[in-house]
């Protein structure tokens, strides 16, 4: 059994990660760090863990823990690691955006590998530190990687993606409380979202050149999931497109290429990504759906750990969606 420490466990991502860790057959939860809730029972904050987890939050860390997950706000992971030194044998998986870009990947004597298994599996196997991808970035990259890998992106890619309210975190804001969010929809950060940097680097890695991306993120009036669509010029047939995608993802246990139209309920509460293709007047439309908290965050973090440890990639991640 490998011991696990979680830094920042009071949010949605930390709560999902705790549930996955305590139900993983090769992991045991050692501590959950919180500077604001020390000694408070974790199940007081994450009520779905009542009867499942008896630990309390702590403001102390075990510096020789086998695996450390950082579930902190963006910009806080690097600050935390500057203040706390962990064993060189400790695997670190960061779920913020602090180390995702190549310019930020080297920190404190560690090299953080970008943790998108569908393209970086070989590097992840050898890594000791992982920068977990963003939720929008995961959905969009999985939609476009087969095209980029085949050098088939030759025009601007137009992207529209709608996320649930949990994507904004547990902190209340003017656009996250129920009265505003319910029966409502809006865009934010048009064409400038912070995940564009990591998406661009991954697509350039696959295609060998920069890709022009126009991304419009939206806030949805639901709690979980991302529904993303991307379209760009494609001169092949729809049959050729499906062959391209099915071949690229044939060894990816969590990315499914569907012939029928896809919807969010196919993936919510799972580590799956479902993709669907549609061709219209020279444009290929790719629809991608994921759960932002699992495949877009905590589930992918466990998936990366499984690969690093040489375990079955789906170990502890055989989750059932709530489709009805």
The residues carrying an active-site annotation are 135
- Determine the Cα–Cα distance for residues 234 and 154; give it in Å rounded to an integer: 8
Name the helix (H) or strand (E) containing 114.
strand 113-114
Give the DSSP per-residue string, 164-223: -GGGG-SS--TTTSHHHHTT--EE-STTT-TTHHHHHHHHHHHHSS---EEEEEEE-SSS
* Rounded alpha-carbon distances, angstroms, from residue 16 to 59, 64, 149, 164: 20, 23, 32, 15
For residue 109, give the DSSP letter: T
Q: State phi, psi for 141 to the nearest 5 degrees.
A: -65, -40
- Determine the Cα–Cα distance for residues 321 and 309; give it in Å rounded to an integer: 26
Residues in the chain: 324
279 exposure class (CB count in 10 Å sphere: 0-12, 13-18, 19+): middle
* Rounded alpha-carbon distances, angstroms, from residue 281 to 160, 229, 241, 271: 19, 17, 14, 33
Closest CA to 141 of 191, 192, 197, 199: 199
């Amino acid at each position: 059994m490998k011991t696990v420490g979680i830094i920042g466990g009071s949010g949605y991502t930390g709560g999902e990660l705790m549930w996955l860790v305590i139900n993983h057959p090769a992991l045991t939860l050692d501590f959950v760090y919180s500077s604001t809730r020390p000694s408070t029972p974790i199940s007081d904050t994450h009520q779905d863990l009542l009867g499942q987890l008896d630990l309390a939050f702590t403001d102390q860390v075990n510096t020789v823990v086998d695996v450390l997950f950082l579930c902190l706000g963006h910009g806080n992971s690097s600050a935390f690691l500057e203040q706390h030194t962990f064993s060189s044998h400790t695997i670190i998986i960061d779920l913020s955006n602090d180390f995702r870009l190549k310019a930020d990947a080297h920190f404190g004597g560690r090299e953080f590998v970008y943790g998108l298994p569908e393209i970086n599996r070989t590097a992840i196997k050898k890594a000791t530190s992982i920068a977990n991808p963003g939720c929008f970035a995961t959905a969009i990259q999985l939609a476009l990687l087969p095209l980029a890998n085949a050098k088939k992106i030759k025009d601007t890619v137009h992207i529209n993606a709608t996320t649930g309210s949990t994507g904004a975190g547990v902190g209340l804001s003017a656009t996250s409380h129920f009265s505003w969010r319910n029966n409502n929809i809006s865009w934010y950060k048009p064409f400038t979202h912070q995940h564009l940097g990591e998406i661009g680097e991954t697509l350039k890695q696959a295609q060998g050149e920069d890709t022009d991306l126009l991304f419009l993120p939206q806030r949805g009036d639901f709690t979980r999931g991302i529904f993303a669509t991307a379209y760009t010029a494609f001169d092949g047939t729809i049959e050729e497109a499906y062959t391209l995608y099915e071949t690229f993802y044939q060894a990816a246990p969590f990315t499914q290429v569907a012939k029928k139209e896809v919807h969010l309920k196919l993936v919510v509460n799972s580590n799956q990504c479902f993709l669907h293709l549609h061709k219209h007047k020279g444009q290929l439309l790719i629809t991608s759906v994921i759960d932002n908290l699992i495949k877009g965050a905590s589930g992918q973090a466990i998936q990366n750990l499984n690969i690093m440890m040489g375990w079955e990639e789906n170990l502890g991640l055989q989750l059932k969606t709530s489709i009805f």
